[in-house]
Amino acid sequence: MQIIKNYFHIGLKEPFCVLHASDTHITFADNRDTERKLELSQGRNRIFPTAEENLEFLKEKACKEERTIIYTGDLIDFVSEMNFEKAEDFCKSVDIFMSAGNHEFSHYVGEAKEDAEYRNISLSRVQRIFNNDIRCSSRIIGGVNFVAIDNSYYLFEKEQIDFLKKETEKEYPVILCVHVPLYTRELYDLEVKQKGNPAYLMSVPEELMQSYTPHRYEQQKQDEITAEAFDFIVNCKNIKGILAGHLHKDFEGMINNDTPQLITGCETVREVYFD
């Protein structure tokens, strides 16, 4: 695992540090699940062969240094009994503040349209692994308000934007923790122009999605509430930074010229310092 240090200078009396990690994608299954799931596990393990050791590294580092982990989704790759158990063991041994990723609710990875109905099949079971509400919650650490919102289907919901607005009215600076990074032209160009992929970002402008396949367009187009959320986030002075994942790579950019967005890949732990 690679370690990257980042710094937020936001005028705190006492400095502190958290760890940011994302997208470990553990791929366990055993005979409590179906044959299809065991095959999925084998196939997905070839894509994420270091997931188990990455999680162990993160656990040891967090425990040794007594750091809270801010985790931005896809800890588990798909729903399985053994993934649930492994995630539970991990969460019992560390202090973790979690926002959900799309894979937390995935049954067979890409077999069905991922929407609220699909998510609700496993939401209550997945939620039991974690101490905070993985779809919408906040936690104050060292005088900074970390707000976790599940935007992993490329959408904000009304309750989530209402919650975020209320949180930003409090006296604490806010760090927004989401799975899917927010659109910036720089990130879009990097993903679409250089790699020929869809951008896999929240709130990509309609006119920039013309080259997407119908499936990816349908998956990633924003709705009115998400557009409102995006406008609010990029203009809110009390949001001092965004922590995100989903792209499986490390990236540091700016939203609206003054808000850093840190994206953390599968093989990286960020030490994020605040002072």
- Applying CB under 5 A, which residues contact Fe ion? 23, 74
What letters, b where the CB count within 10 A reaches 16 and e where it falls short, cover 229-258? bbeebbebeebbbbbbbbbbeebebebeee
Asked whether 156 and 163 are in contact (CB, 8 A), the reply is: no
* CB nearer Fe ion, residue 23 or residue 157: 23
CA distance 135 to 149: 5
User: CB of 232: closest distance to Fe ion in angstroms?
Assistant: 25
* CB nearer Fe ion, residue 17 or residue 180: 180
User: CB of 169: closest distance to Fe ion in angstroms?
Assistant: 32
What's the length of the chain? 275
User: CB of 222: closest distance to Fe ion in angstroms?
Assistant: 20
Asked whether 226 and 219 are in contact (CB, 8 A), the reply is: no
* CB nearer Fe ion, residue 74 or residue 191: 74
User: CB of 22: closest distance to Fe ion in angstroms?
Assistant: 7
| 70 φ/ψ angles, rounded to the nearest 5 degrees | -95, 115
* CB nearer Fe ion, residue 173 or residue 245: 245
* CB nearer Fe ion, residue 23 or residue 150: 23
Burial grade of 9 (CB within 10 A; 0-12, 13-18, 19 or more): exposed
User: CB of 248: closest distance to Fe ion in angstroms?
Assistant: 6
Tokens of 232: 């609010």
- Which residue is at the shortest CB distance from Fe ion? 74
* CB nearer Fe ion, residue 172 or residue 183: 183
Could you tell me the maximum CA-CA distance found in the chain, to the nearest angstrom? 55
Asked whether 241 and 20 are in contact (CB, 8 A), the reply is: no
User: CB of 268: closest distance to Fe ion in angstroms?
Assistant: 13
Asked whether 259 and 240 are in contact (CB, 8 A), the reply is: yes
